[in-house]
Chains A and B, each alone.
Chain A
Amino acid sequence: MYYKTGGYRVFSIFNYTLLTLICISCVLPLIHILAVSFSGSAPANSNLVGLLPIDFNVEAYAKTLNNSNFHQALTMGVYRTLLGTLVSMLLIVLASYALSKDSHGFRSRSIYTWYFLFTMLFSGGIVPSYMLVRNLDLMNSIWALVLPAAVNVFNMVLMMNFFRAVPKELEEASLIDGAGHFRTLWSVYLPISMPALATISLFTMVFHWNSWFDGLLYITDYKKYPLSTFLQTVIVQQDFNKINPDVNELKNISQRTVKAAQIFIGTLPILLVYPFLQKYFVKGIILGAVKE
């Protein structure tokens, strides 16, 4: 067998080592930040912390969680994620059920399909979208963060493909029993599409949790910033003018350990849902790539 030859063994050792190093490089930045967040502020500020905390303590987390600005942003981030996912799933499930019907029973189907798909290919760009939100008086409203992103066409196509895989006989049985389309969707399709619903909800939640630019664009009142936008302003741009902290808070915010703690709390929800997400996205990608 090929793997018993000397040359291949040398290659194998090289290969395992290389892949191990690559894997380490993928988690190293997170481990470094985690180590800094649990370190004492003196070693952290003089850059002594590598991958293990020095002077282990949880002070940075205590300070972060006591910061009222961070609190507001966290609440806003969670609120936006939940509301955004709810609205988006509602629109997507309804629309993709209708689109999953074949076009000779539902002849307008292809018109609708192109109507949605075209938005994936072309967009007005940020300036007209910004003017629109301003003219609709949605500035500083949660709906400016929820509605523009609500109809995600990629997710809609995924959901539609899941619905199409449902056996036709189930739908027919339900229609014969006198149920309408709404009833069929609710009592037949949804219960058997739970894995798909979970997958797409997770995708949507991650999207909303990570979104920061719309907050920067549409929210001018820093008190309504969702967490990602808050972190972008305070940690990446280091723009404290908008946040207007008092002197004590400013001292805390600019501390390296506190920054690290904020970054880590911002990543935590992603890390928590990641195992569930990973179970499904591979299937989703392949389904999206190889359709009949």
Chain B
Amino acid sequence: MESVKSNPQAPAKPSVSKASKSNKPKEKISRTWPLHLMLLPAAIVTLIFAYVPMGGLVMAFQDFKPYEGVWNSPFVGLEHFRFMFEYPDSKQVIINTLVIAGLKIVFGLLVPFTFAILLNEIRLILFKRVVQTLVYLPHFISWVILGAILTDMLGSEGIVNNSLRALGMDPIFWLGDGNWFRFTVVVSDIWQNFGFNTIVFLAALAGVNPSLYEAAEVDGANRWKQTLHITMPAMIPITVVVATLSIGNILNAGFDQIFNLYNPLVYEKGDIIDTFVYRTAILNGQFSFGTAVGMFKSVVGLVLIVISYRLAARFAGYRIF
């Protein structure tokens, strides 16, 4: 096995094994330099556009002035982080982010789980295919488009409120009232992504051995019992994985979506970390404070991802790397 993998261009090279470690040839730069060369462009682009900005996080500890640059701006220590936890607006923004992202995570798991079970009960293959094609579609449409459509449909004179009026109900300020805004954001996010998130559950169900159902049938289990004792247990491992991994998203409330739906009326309940950072830093020029808030989000995200990956590896035997 080992000898198959060794490079045939080097016939003198002995087969590599643990026993003959002493005559293991050194990795020759002449053989691997093309590989390094191939990685070079991507490595340089990553260095400039991913690692240099990480270094730029030093701005969070400075009183950054654009005309003085990162090198000359004075250091202020943890001042911006202290301010973040004392300033009512930024505290509210963190709470909003947790609430919206938390609701999205919970329902973003429950809805695809249920939908996969329902879809699994469809026996007309053509119908099943059509359903899958249609429910995956919204995932690929950008929030600029969806935001424009939703703003139009949910406005006070839009098609939704006109239908409510026709049914004799009061119109609802979907995007103008804080609580309704949260509701709209969570529901529309689930609507956009539930189909796509069903894919992994369907994959788990495709792996269930049909003879399990046959055996249950013979034993007199009805379909509900079969669902409860065969279908659902088959989906538990992947559910655990998806649930643990989504913990890393607890501060990701969906910038694209909120930014394209919100307005000053709902800042109190709908403003999230990312939109707040954009407004304070880019629009108002408070670069250091914005960097600090953004850094808080990145660091918490990193810690949670590392923890949840470990949990997923331990409890579900799932490894990404």
Instruction: Classify the secondary structure of A's interface with B.
Output: helix
Question: How far does the Cβ of A15 sit from chain B's closest Cβ, in whole Å?
Answer: 6
On whether the beta carbons of A26 and B159 are closer than 8 Å, the reply is no
0 or 1 for each of B45-75: is its CB under 8 Å from A? (1 = yes): 1101111111111010000001001100000
Question: For residues 124 through 159 of chain B, which have their beta carbon under 8 Å from a beta carbon of chain A?
Answer: 127, 130-131, 133-138, 140-142, 144-153, 157-159
Docked-complex contact A106 and B32, CB < 8 angstroms: yes
Contact B199 A285 (CB under 8 A): yes
- Closest beta carbon of chain A to B249's beta carbon, Å: 13
How far does the alpha carbon of A50 sit from the alpha carbon of B163 in the complex, in Å? Answer: 10
Shortest CB-to-CB span from A149 to chain B, Å, is: 8
Q: Which of chain A's residues has its CB closest to B138's CB?
A: A26
Task: Report which residue of B27, B54, B158, B302 has the largest number of chain A beta carbons within 10 angstroms of its beta carbon.
Answer: B54
Q: A128 near B42 (CB under 8 angstroms)? A: no
A194-217 interface with B by 8 A CB criterion: 206, 209-213, 217
The chain A residue with its CB closest to the CB of B135 is: A26
Q: Complex Cα distance A27/B149, Å? A: 12
Determine the distance from Cα of A116 to Cα of B127 in the docked complex, in whole angstroms: 42
Distance in angstroms from B229 CB to nearest chain A CB is 13
Interface stretch, picked from B87-95, B96-104, B114-122, is B114-122
Do B141 and A270 have beta carbons less than 8 Å apart?
Answer: yes
Contact between A26 and B191 (Cβ–Cβ < 8 Å)?
yes
- A231 to B148: give the CA distance in the assembly, Å: 9
- Residues in chain A near residue B238, CB distance under 8 A: 289
Asked if A236 and B278 make an inter-chain contact with CB atoms under 8 angstroms apart, the answer reads no
**Closest Cβ–Cβ distance, residue A278 to chain B (whole Å):** 6
Mark interface residues in A229-244 (1 if CB within 8 Å of B CB, else 0): 0011001100000000
B134 touches A23 (CB 8 A): yes
In the complex, the answer to whether A213 meets B256 with C-beta atoms within 8 Å is: yes
A278 touches B136 (CB 8 A): yes
B48 CB to nearest chain A CB (Å):
8
Smallest beta-carbon distance A8→chain B, Å? 5
Q: What total of chain A residues lie within 8 Å of the partner, measured CB to CB?
A: 102
Known: A127-B277, A128-B291. A228 touches B57 (CB 8 A): no
B135 touching A22, Cβ below 8 Å: yes
Which residues from chain A contact B301 at a C-beta distance below 8 Å?
Answer: 121-122
Q: How far is the CA of A270 from the CA of B145 in the complex (A)?
A: 11
Size of the B side of the interface (Cβ < 8 Å), in residues, is: 99
CB A71 to nearest CB in B, in angstroms, measures 18
- Of the candidates B45, B59, B130, the one having the most CB atoms from chain A within 10 angstroms of its own CB is B45
In the bound complex, residues from chain B placing their C-beta under 8 Å from that of A95 are: 38-39, 41-43
Cβ contact within 8 Å between A278 and B133: yes
Interface residues of A (CB under 8 A from B): 1-3, 5, 7-8, 11-12, 15-16, 18-19, 22-23, 25-27, 29-30, 32-33, 36, 47, 50, 90-92, 94-95, 97-99, 101-102, 104-108, 112-113, 115-117, 119, 121-132, 134-136, 147-148, 150-151, 156, 168, 172, 175-176, 180-182, 185, 206, 209-213, 217, 228, 231-232, 235-236, 256, 259-260, 263, 266-267, 270, 274, 277-278, 281-282, 285-286, 289-291
Interface set of B (CB-CB < 8 Å, partner A): 4-9, 16, 27, 31-32, 34-36, 38-39, 41-43, 45-46, 48-57, 59, 66, 69-70, 115, 118-119, 121-123, 127, 130-131, 133-138, 140-142, 144-153, 157-159, 162, 191, 195, 199-200, 203, 217, 222-223, 226, 238, 255-256, 259-260, 274, 277-278, 281-282, 287, 290-291, 294-295, 297-299, 301-302, 305-306, 320-321
